[in-house]
Amino acid sequence: MPFIHIHTNTTVSADKADAIKAKLGKAITDIPGKSEQWLMVGIDDAATLYFQGNDAPAAIAQVSLYGSASGNALDRLTSDITEILHGELALEPGRIYVSYMTTPDWGWSGRNF
């Protein structure tokens, strides 16, 4: 049950959003047991976002995971997310943050797992 929420101060066209969503669907498999079938993606573009004191193009990807993941898996996913945002939105890797939150509790369809 992963959720990847991307906030960026750039504009993301519908075509770019679809491409990002598709690539994140493949990247989430870096985490054993996770798949696009359960992945939810949110993209908030044109946000007011400052990093290093300026509003040059930047993004943060917040990844929420049901359960846990190894450090190696998270390293691979961070690399993939950075590559995706760099390739699709022309963001410099040094202007992309990726954060993780894991939880033992996750609700879906009116109940918790």
The DSSP bridge partners found for residue 96 are: 59
Domains of the chain: 3-107 (3.30.429.10)
pLDDT at residue 113, as a whole number: 86
Type of residue numbered 109:
S
pLDDT over 90 (residue 30): yes
pTM of the model: 0.95
pLDDT at 66 over 90: yes
* Secondary structure (3-state) at 50: coil
**pLDDT tens profile 79-108:** 999 999 999 999 999 999 999 999 999 999
End-to-end CA distance of the chain, in Å? 10
- Provide DSSP, 7-38: EESS---HHHHHHHHHHHHHHGGGSTT--GGG
